[in-house]
Amino acid sequence: MADDQTELEEKFKKVADRLHRGWAKLYPPTEKDLAAVQEAIREHWEQEQQALELIKRGKQAATFQPPPPEPPEKKIDKDQSQQSNRHRKGHSY
């Protein structure tokens, strides 16, 4: 029984092979099909390139060095201005 089945499957396989070869001859892709495929590939390629670009930018942002702390002069300025404000406030009292 199992041998029968294997034999039958083998017959199917040979016929399937014939049919697939025949179909390839009878029904090759049309120009329209191939153009649609090329368009789908191009669209996907562009999406992929955009995604890669975003990833690249993301990596650049992650490795971006923060700006150095403000120079001390500015702090002094700030302190001075605060002091002068306090003085002014004091004067107003």
- Binding residues vs other proteins (CB under 8 A): 4-5, 8-9, 11-16, 18-30, 32-34, 36-45, 48
Residue 85 CA neighbour count, 13 Å, CB half: 6
CB of 55 to other proteins, least distance (A): 15
For other proteins, the closer of residues 39 and 77 by Cβ is 39
- Pick the closer one to other proteins by CB: 4 or 73: 4
Residue 87 CA: distances (Å) to CA of 57, 62, 81, 84: 50, 45, 10, 5
Q: Residue 47 Cβ, how far from other proteins at the closest point, in Å?
A: 9
Distance CA 31, CA 14 (A): 30
Residues 6+ apart with CB under 8 A from 70: none
Give min distance, CB of 51 to other proteins, in A: 11
User: Of the two residues 17 and 70, which places its CB atom closer to other proteins in the complex?
Assistant: 17
